[in-house]
Amino acid sequence: MKAIIWGSCGSLPSPTSSATIRQKVKDAIWASRELEFASIEAVDAYLETLPHSAHGTYKANTTCVQIEAGTKEHIIRDARTGLRDFSLSLGKNAPPATYHIFVSHLHWDHIQGFPFFAPAYQSGNRIIFHGFHQTTESAIRAQMDAPCFPVPYEAMQAEIEFDIQEDGAHFAVGDVHVATIKQQHPGDSWGYSFEQGEKRIIFSSDSEHGPEAREEGYPFVDFLHEADILIFDGQYTSEEASEEKRNWGHSDHMTAVELAARAKVRQLIVSHHEPAYSDPKIEEIHQGALRYCKEYNQELSQGNPATRFPEHIKVAFDGLVIEA
Ligand SMILES: [Zn+2]
Ligand SMILES: [Zn+2]
């Protein structure tokens, strides 16, 4: 089972500007001025030696993750703008298929990719929205109403269904079992755990964790327990999350490390990036998370380094593929 990140930015799409791309190219060329490249592969190898922020970006589309589990039917978490790139990856002649879209909540950044989801316009396809908000169907339809969008919802030829459940419900797609947890966010949101055999991938974004997260018996520690991959909301720095942006419904990289360590998560992926942060700033947050992971584990295990979790910490970017 693997997670494919099609979008990693929070709140609104935030593509890199021309000026920033030019600066990155200029810096990379200047840094290589003493080198000689005999092949294009050698250029690639050189770029690999640079930090991701120097040759790529961490944020473009808003968050959308595909869970690739070898099932006949597709599994997607949230219908944000990354959904469009997922649909482009299917190619023009994709055979009719069923798409399960698990919705965390209905804030616009989480549904705005759906009007651009090509399979929705093709008859023979089936799309099932799973979630907990009673207003899911009306929100999906309303964003396509005039004057907001030129194509009405009724133009979509696929069979579209809404599977709206009460809190605590479980779902299944083939042999993938889907458990959920209610999260603290304005208007509520839900985190999803996708489990197949012994592997488990959890996506928990748009979720705020206050001081209560440090208490014994905090339910998220149980929910995340021994996950192979945890894709987590690290939108803010810990200062912002605990002061200026308290109650905005998001979390920070230090809380991500603490919960992942206590729950013995194997790989932590920090996602739902703050659109105002630059790529180097997101890299600083990554370094901060790595440092804090070391310190926090020492505290947690009272100096016994053998019990360090999470084993790996990465930062999400569009195109990142993580094997469970
Ligand atoms: Zn969001
Ligand atoms: Zn939200």
Gap from CA of 81 to ligand 1 centroid (Å):
12
Q: Which is more confident, 244 or 18?
A: 18
Confidence at residue 92, expressed as pLDDT on a 0 to 100 scale: 86
145 and 49 inside one domain: no
CATH code of residue 125: 3.60.15.10
- Using a 10 angstrom Cβ sphere, with 0-12 exposed, 13-18 middle and 19 or more buried, the burial of residue 237 is buried
Closest ligand to C-alpha of residue 186 is: 2
Gap from CA of 219 to ligand 1 centroid (Å):
21
Gap from CA of 214 to ligand 1 centroid (Å):
23
Q: Is the pLDDT of residue 244 over 80?
A: no
Gap from CA of 67 to ligand 2 centroid (Å):
21
Closest ligand to C-alpha of residue 9 is: 1
d(CA 56, CA 140): 32
Range of the domain at 300: 2-15+57-323
Gap from CA of 48 to ligand 1 centroid (Å):
31
173 and 38 inside one domain: no
Q: Is the pLDDT of residue 323 over 70?
A: yes
38 and 92 inside one domain: no
118 and 156 inside one domain: yes
The residue whose two tokens read 């790595």 is 290
CB 223 within 8 A of CB 259: no
Gap from CA of 272 to ligand 1 centroid (Å):
7
Residues 212-238: tens digit of each pLDDT: 999 999 999 999 999 999 999 988 777
29 and 84 inside one domain: no
280 and 290 inside one domain: yes
Closest ligand to C-alpha of residue 110 is: 1
d(CA 228, CA 30): 40
152 and 80 inside one domain: yes
CA 123 to chain centre: 29
Gap from CA of 194 to ligand 2 centroid (Å):
21
Whole-number percent of the chain with pLDDT over 90:
86
Gap from CA of 105 to ligand 2 centroid (Å):
7
Confidence at residue 305, expressed as pLDDT on a 0 to 100 scale: 64
Residues 157-200: tens digit of each pLDDT: 999 999 999 999 999 999 999 999 999 999 999 999 999 999 99
Gap from CA of 252 to ligand 1 centroid (Å):
13
Q: How many domains does the chain have?
A: 2
Confidence at residue 303, expressed as pLDDT on a 0 to 100 scale: 67
Q: Is the pLDDT of residue 207 over 90?
A: yes
Confidence at residue 236, expressed as pLDDT on a 0 to 100 scale: 79
Most confident of 37-41, 232-236, 296-300: 37-41
46 and 161 inside one domain: no
Confidence at residue 234, expressed as pLDDT on a 0 to 100 scale: 83
270 and 281 inside one domain: yes
34 and 166 inside one domain: no
> What predicted TM-score, i.e. pTM, was given to this entire model?
0.94
DSSP character string of 184-223: -STT-EEEEEEEETTEEEEEE-S----GGGGSTT-HHHHH
106 and 210 inside one domain: yes
Question: Rounded to the nearest 10 degrees, how much is the dihedral formed by the CA atoms of 109, 110, 112, 116?
Answer: 130
Gap from CA of 152 to ligand 1 centroid (Å):
25
Residues with CB under 5 A from ligand 1 (ion): 109, 206
Gap from CA of 10 to ligand 1 centroid (Å):
5
97 and 222 inside one domain: yes
Residues 151-168: tens digit of each pLDDT: 999 999 999 999 999 999
Gap from CA of 107 to ligand 2 centroid (Å):
5
Closest ligand to C-alpha of residue 188 is: 2
Gap from CA of 32 to ligand 1 centroid (Å):
38
